[in-house]
Structure 1
């Protein structure tokens, strides 16, 4: 038989009531730094949960024992009837006091960083005379589709074994390769040797709702950005008449007219996208192609002819990843790259030469590039995947297929320093072996004087002091802003569609005791001198409403170069 219901209960309070008064008069300070929306929300949610737990224990403290339900005796314990109202009021007041703040401080911080980057970008501009930039080689038609929807449409199930493949021969390898890069959200590009499979992908992409077509390829994308930013451009590439007509009036094409241009399929996916059991940790793209024209540098001859009368201020070379894993005849690729190297070496010393890295996995091709092309460039641009890949080869190791897609600033800066040192050491060694003074006009190749690395979270640049490259701080700011403009698909940056994911402060190196630099909202671009160069780092306003990731690196690199010509 159940005992009679008590009219009131024993409430045992631990700790004593005095603690409530102390809590009422003590404001526990929440975290003061605001690193990013996602991280901030987590910290405040955790903090609010901890405070709520303390309040419940302090204000109520009900013991889970049968004694809690016994009728209360006068003079014992803590009278709920006497203090209940006060306790309830205290809980309400403290809950309000410690409520998670809204997004106003986040919005203010993003607004401040944005306005500061815009000021840094606008500190300098291009001269009244439009800079002349020659960009090669290649071009294509990009078809942009939702990658997961395309694979589902062709009936390709998620693989149980994500694997890296240098090239794609069948649907199973496509599934394995896509899954391998999809989960970390790393950009990748692969050659499809199976013409039947590639044709199926193209035809299915044309039928998918929401597909988009655009002019693609490293050279055309960089040319478009530089023309938009105020340059006159000579573009080396092969295009159909229809696509040549939509290029900017400030772009002159040097190359063959083709009826059937090369097609690249851009399999885009947003952060959080799922494919079977796989979830993408960041937005990115997986590119497949089966080119006929670009691997042979089809526009090289016409580009070289027109270059003689163009007299560029800057010569940019990219798109050579189209040669990766392509089935050339013996010696054919090396001959093509030798011709390209001769073109670069013949350019005026007053003309800067920039080489844009890409997704390379063919070690033979990378070896040819290291010996025949890169020695003639004094500027390099790349992302967080391409940097450790190139560095690994310079160290004498193998290709690095997949690296951390979200590296820390200190890690990237250490890699950049080593790359800068190794490339310039190779330059000095090559000339010393030939008995040539590196300062002489007859010196072989060029020293590396500019290195730009772009990641999802930040931009980093090394520029040799006294070199021709100027306005480094403004260039890094412009590169950062361009990342958001391109990915969000708008020239105007909306802070409500952006977030900061760069660390609230960063170490300049992974070496113990290295200096830490805080991210200052009013001066977000940090620059300092080391050895014979300057380093600048800027945070990215990462787009949260992704329109397109493909072409991001090309737009970022081109924008950074514009202010340094």
Structure 2
């Protein structure tokens, strides 16, 4: 017995000596040793440091918006488990395949699997009204199905309405169910009200969820609908006509992506009419354009070049939309078929700069109005602005990152134990030379760099480990970024 006791004592002495000379010894080792020791003081996590630092960075702008008009897509979202619904529709797992437009349940299954395997968001138009209605009925009756306010414009309006100092006008096809769900602070023109609601089906999947051979690398969703009212932007003229009386400080436009599934002849006509309508308001107030998933390169080129993008002051988009925009316009890194994980910051920076140089006002002699792009992806956000046009962008990009964490987790404020930092702590300002090596400082978690007269602000996102809902995150991010943004009064053409 005495030999065993001596051995334990020697072991305790040795480890004790090692502990005092090396205090990083794991606590789980020390707890099994037969001697008392002082508890170690844990350093705060990077997530805690970043979330605390955001509170100091996110300050309201000197000049705030008072009245914001939002249009023109609105609907009711039916949110269900994607795999669960497809199984309820008697679909079996199989290989994924992308479809620009959905014509059948088989197309739906293949497109869903294609994007689930990539963990990417996507939105598609379903052409067969009767089949869509049967799927919608099955979705509404599926256990756990939930109904929410849907459509980019309505979601942005809902987020803006959480700020009591803002008056919000929402114009879109608003049916009785949607009207009932909207915040009381939102003003809906009588001309926007319609007898029936438009429904969009949101097929969600969780990180690690598997169906057959397909496995989701992260949580996301696949959206589809048979939505003619939003597809034709039928309330656009009503929206523009409402602006004279409402007199907004800011106009937020969304829904252009809905026209893509209506056919080239229709979208060419409506896009020209949309440009004419937007041109009537752009000299009075800045216009923010919220983009969404598209697949027709000709349509995207029409939006970029001679049509919409040059006449708006700001745009918001995610990683799929940014890459597709570059692919459609033969821009930087257009050879990539997909990002293949977290988008490289240098490549994102290259494309953002290209958009502002080619379609924006980075050249002071340009007649374009585009001076701001708010890019968001799961792990980080970037705000790129032409110098001299926007202020308070550090607060704006941080506020967008903060709301992504809060809303995904369904909390009122960030809980550092429920989020994870996935942004790269080191990155480059460009994918090619010359490029600058940059870092994220958790204590000051907005990294800033310049390329010519364009300034970039990057904020890491604290990604929710177990997200409750992914739909509408991009709209909340853009809305929050706009709330904290300030347009400089010296803008030349606005």
User: What TM-score do the two structures reach when normalised by structure 2?
Assistant: 0.86
CA–CA distance in 2 between the matches of 1:101 and 1:416?
47
CA–CA distance in 1 between the matches of 2:132 and 2:27?
51
Partner SS state of residue 391, structure 2: coil
| Stretches of structure 2 lacking an aligned partner (at least 5 in a row) | 29-39, 487-494
| Stretches of structure 1 lacking an aligned partner (at least 5 in a row) | 1-79, 429-436
In the TM superposition, what are the counterparts of 1:389-468 in structure 2 within 5 Å? 389-395=324-330, 402-424=338-360, 438=365, 443=367, 446-467=368-389
The reply on whether 1:120 has 2:54 as its aligned counterpart is no
Check the 8 A contact 2:65/2:250 in 1, yes or no.
no
Check the 8 A contact 2:72/2:153 in 1, yes or no.
yes
The reply on whether 1:158 has 2:93 as its aligned counterpart is yes
Partner SS state of residue 111, structure 1: helix
Partner SS state of residue 48, structure 2: helix
CA–CA distance in 2 between the matches of 1:399 and 1:305?
42
1:106–1:556 distance in 2 versus 1, CA, 3 Å = farther
CA–CA distance in 1 between the matches of 2:401 and 2:77?
24
1:348–1:512 distance in 2 versus 1, CA, 3 Å = closer
Cross-structure match for 1:142? 77
CA–CA distance in 1 between the matches of 2:344 and 2:43?
22
Deviation per CA, 1:202-229, whole angstroms, max 9, x where unpaired? 1111122211101100100011111213
Offset at residue 419 of structure 1 (A): 2.1
Check the 8 A contact 1:107/1:495 in 2, yes or no.
no
1:132–1:399 distance in 2 versus 1, CA, 3 Å = farther
Cross-structure match for 2:427? 506
CA–CA distance in 2 between the matches of 1:545 and 1:234?
34
Check the 8 A contact 2:323/2:338 in 1, yes or no.
no
Check the 8 A contact 2:70/2:169 in 1, yes or no.
yes
Give the one of 177, 182, 186 matched to 2:111. 177
More moved, 332-341 vs 287-296: 332-341
Partner SS state of residue 161, structure 2: helix
Cross-structure match for 2:409? 488
Structural RMSD (CA): 2.9
Deviation per CA, 1:465-509, whole angstroms, max 9, x where unpaired? 111x22010001100001112211223221111110011222222
Check the 8 A contact 2:76/2:177 in 1, yes or no.
no
Give the one of 254, 258, 264 matched to 1:318. 254
Cross-structure match for 1:290? 226
Partner SS state of residue 293, structure 1: helix
Check the 8 A contact 1:184/1:280 in 2, yes or no.
yes
Offset at residue 535 of structure 1 (A): 1.2
CA–CA distance in 2 between the matches of 1:238 and 1:179?
30
CA–CA distance in 2 between the matches of 1:462 and 1:106?
34
Deviation per CA, 1:176-223, whole angstroms, max 9, x where unpaired? 111111011000111111234322321111122211101100100011
Check the 8 A contact 2:70/2:171 in 1, yes or no.
yes
1:221–1:478 distance in 2 versus 1, CA, 3 Å = same
Deviation per CA, 1:105-130, whole angstroms, max 9, x where unpaired? 57533221101012111x22575x75
CA–CA distance in 1 between the matches of 2:187 and 2:351?
37
CA–CA distance in 2 between the matches of 1:270 and 1:139?
26
Equivalences, count: 465
CA–CA distance in 2 between the matches of 1:104 and 1:247?
48
Offset at residue 150 of structure 1 (A): 1.0
1:474–1:548 distance in 2 versus 1, CA, 3 Å = same
Cross-structure match for 2:171? 236
Check the 8 A contact 1:508/1:517 in 2, yes or no.
yes
Check the 8 A contact 2:231/2:261 in 1, yes or no.
no
Check the 8 A contact 2:68/2:168 in 1, yes or no.
yes
1:91–1:282 distance in 2 versus 1, CA, 3 Å = farther
In the TM superposition, what are the counterparts of 1:349-428 in structure 2 within 5 Å? 349-370=283-304, 371-395=306-330, 402-424=338-360
Cross-structure match for 2:159? 225
1:339–1:498 distance in 2 versus 1, CA, 3 Å = same
- Rg (Cα) greater in structure: 1
CA–CA distance in 1 between the matches of 2:187 and 2:87?
40
Q: Which runs of 4+ in 1 moved over 6 A?
A: 83-98, 101-104, 396-401
Offset at residue 349 of structure 1 (A): 3.0
User: What TM-score do the two structures reach when normalised by structure 1?
Assistant: 0.76
Cross-structure match for 2:187? 252
CA–CA distance in 2 between the matches of 1:245 and 1:472?
35
Check the 8 A contact 1:337/1:372 in 2, yes or no.
yes
CA–CA distance in 1 between the matches of 2:335 and 2:246?
37
